[in-house]
Amino acid sequence: MARLTGKRCLVTGAGRGIGRAIALAFAREGAAVAVLDRREDLAMEVAAFLREQGATAAAVTGDVSQEVSVNAGIAAARDALGGIDVLVNNAGIDTNSRVIDMPVAMWDEMMAVNLRSVFLCTRAVLPEMVGRRWGRIINISSQLAHKGAAEMAHYAAAKAGVIGLTRSLAYEVAADGITVNAICPGPVDTELFRNIPEAWRTRKLAELPIGRAGTVEEIAPTAVLLASDEGSFYIGATLNPNGGDVMI
């Protein structure tokens, strides 16, 4: 039997990149999937593709950094699937600046999209998970949360915050049958990574023992593990598919 048969999963930022790969992997494992993205066209494209493959899927549009939008999006996903058993907080952005040059608006946007969103989406799904006494919350952080990077202090800080939130929440809800874990991918060949200045990308890839960026298909299986019954003993863990950029 597929490992996620009967599970209802919501993946944020699932219109492309790692989120899309996770949504597809979940569907292959038998899950019903809500594809949430701020771009309606991308959410609809992925949901339609999943339905063509025989999966139950719904497209949801929303801005995960805004409370009203999150609550509406979660409600729409819940209505479409009949509930939410698994939440993957994947939506995120990436910008570059030295701290000395960084506008406050850039810092605030990074915190809103990459950290505040995790809190908002998680808080919105917790009541039904607690009531059901079963749930999976998977937060996508980054290897830069562990090691930092020049010109990405705001990104590393937000992603480190995701790990802190993951661990603290894991203490709160483990007794309710809910696991909370984080995945810290290394450089992955996505549109987000390709939009980083080429000089920065070249330096980063040169640091990797594996000598290349990862693929989204190399990240998605970790999310499947954490969403499945096989992941039930992972509590507050940080899994690191990062090509050797951080070895912990």
155 given a catalytic annotation: yes
Closest CA to 6 of 26, 33, 32: 32
Number of helices (H) and strands (E) in the chain: give both, helices first. Answer: 10, 7
User: In which element (H, E) is residue 180 found?
Assistant: strand 178-183
Burial letters for 163-187: b for 16+ Cβ neighbours within 10 Å, e otherwise? bebbbebbeebeeeebbbbbbbbbb
From the list 155, 160, 184, 188, the catalytic residue is: 155
* Residue pointed to by tokens 């699932």: 14
- The catalytic residues are 155
